[in-house]
Chain A
């Protein structure tokens, strides 16, 4: 039976609460991204993405999200952004580029909404 944590009652739209239930459902997927703090895991991913995903035990849905570089979909599926950003370094995406993608914008469009649009 689902019970509501009163501390997270009233979260705004477009925000995904990473809680124990989410983490429990997606622990292997989160671990796959977390592993990217190790050079050997980065090397294995660069060598063979499919083999790296298989040995991490990702399911078909998770593999498809990685193949599609679907950043928002990965977050919505239950991955914490702070493990995801480790993988962003591995596939050579800056955080600003990932932010733009999650908003459905190009980097240029996103930067036009910022206080210092030419910052990188």
Chain B
């Protein structure tokens, strides 16, 4: 049976990809970001998941507004990394497992999540910005990706609660697959940022940290916020954080946050967090809490 072995929340700022491609990993300005991903890459190298299942958004690259789906699952053995106006990036195609993607699609539709499906399309920075910081890509990626695109661009967006429930359904879909695949669920976007209009440049670190606490310990509260609440608290484009809620929905009730990096350099609070599920009888986690108290 396939199973979920953990979760990752990560920003998907396009300039992370630009800095990566230009080799600015050691640049003092960028090092706090790239250093912060190293423990996550090590965690993935140690856990060796077969699949990264992404809840991400397309930035009107793969899909245009003449037909813009609320939820869309990509099916394919290969997805090229998209040209978003500045040319191609030189990353290998993202790999996919068609049987697993198709199973996830069938299970979700049978649970009344009526997804759209895309094939033979490139994927943009919603996945391609963080992916090379998580997984090595030479000579090729070590595993496959399930891309689930969520509309966070054109209102009406799916509600925070709907995204959380999508994650819960994805967990059931994963666990109903007979092959022994190990899966890490990833939610991308955020945290606080606004990059359009006169309010451009808005950030709210206090809210970002509260969001991370609530996401880990009380995600139901986050499902009750409206899109306008997210925009007011974290800036217009921070509404992307509903994709972190989808990731959270796919994880168990009690989580340990095993790594966190938060770096607000210019306009986006660039954040990466790794979660492991706390299993019953695990004494290590409560002891860690005691130490803090």
Report how far A90 CA is from B198 CA in the complex, Å: 23
Report the bound CA distance from A96 to B60 in whole Å.
20
Give A50 Cβ to nearest chain B Cβ, in Å: 20
Decide if A37 touches B83 in the complex (CB within 8 Å).
yes
Chain A, interface residues (CB within 8 Å), range: 35 or more
Q: Is A114 an interface residue (CB 8 A)?
A: yes
**Contact mask for chain A residues 67-85; partner B; CB cutoff 8 A; 1 contact, 0 none:** 0000010011000111101
Interface assignment of A18: CB less than 8 Å from any CB of chain B: yes
Contact size range, B? 35 or more
Contacts of A113 in B (CB 8 A): 201
Residues of chain B lying within 8 A (CB to CB) of residue A102? 196-198, 200
Label chain A's interface by main secondary structure: helix
Q: Is the CB of B264 within 8 A of A89?
A: no
CB<8 Å pairs between A and B, sample of 25: A8-B155, A9-B226, A9-B228, A10-B228, A11-B232, A14-B200, A15-B196, A15-B197, A16-B196, A18-B155, A20-B155, A23-B65, A30-B65, A31-B64, A31-B66, A34-B65, A76-B197, A82-B153, A86-B61, A88-B85, A89-B85, A90-B85, A104-B198, A114-B265, A116-B265
Given A8-B226, A15-B197, 18 other A-B contacts at CB below 8 A?
Answer: A5-B155, A7-B159, A13-B199, A14-B197, A15-B199, A30-B60, A37-B61, A39-B87, A42-B85, A75-B196, A80-B154, A95-B267, A99-B267, A102-B197, A115-B264, A116-B265, A119-B266, A120-B29
